A and B are shown apart, each in its own frame.
Chain A
């Protein structure tokens, strides 16, 4: 069974640009969550999607957005990149955490903003 796949693995962007990250969940999982991981702040929740609907959102500016497609694949977009957006972006998928199932994480996309 394939795990959570995130593409690309690495990205280097310039300040002011925008970027799109992709996450393919485990087959059958309909919940996809995104997290930003930095050395100083640890993992911070960005948002969660289920069946193409955003159900939960963290405390990030509107420059961070996402969507989910009918096949449960999800994309995350960051516009007008800032140096502080440099981080590892993790995606996790599950059948639904409130149902007692486990969240499986991808290997992440390392974004560097220069």
Chain B
């Protein structure tokens, strides 16, 4: 079975502070992991994917197969980072399995 767990429903940090959104997954094969973001009143959009190993808007995420984790990190949070973040897993089919999401609030 494919499962994605985001343990924090809400996360609040101050501007300039580091932020880490946790994501753990369960999958027997080699998954592809993604982070999606949904800003207020905007559509869900891809933030980054583990295979591209790039930094988007200052965010990075490393796939740790030993810990089955794909945590999203940013060293200095900005107010515009406030949004809903979803971790997602793509297994052997076209089905994306999402976590329940973490609402990030960056306070001034």
Contacts and interface: CB of A to CB of B under 8 A. Distances in A.
Interface string B86-99: 10001001111111
Interface of B: 43-46, 51, 86, 90, 93-101
A14 B44 CA distance: 28
B51 A58 contact: no
State the main secondary structure of chain B at its contact with A: loop
Contact of B100 (A41, A58, A92, A104): A41
Contacts of B96: 33, 35, 45, 92, 97, 103
Interface size class of A (residues with CB under 8 A): 20 to 34
Interface in A41-63: 41-45, 48, 50, 55-56, 58
A56 B93 contact: yes
Interface of A: 3-4, 31, 33, 35, 40-45, 48, 50, 55-56, 58, 90, 92, 96-98, 100, 102-108
6 contacts: A35-B96, A42-B100, A43-B86, A97-B90, A102-B46, A106-B43
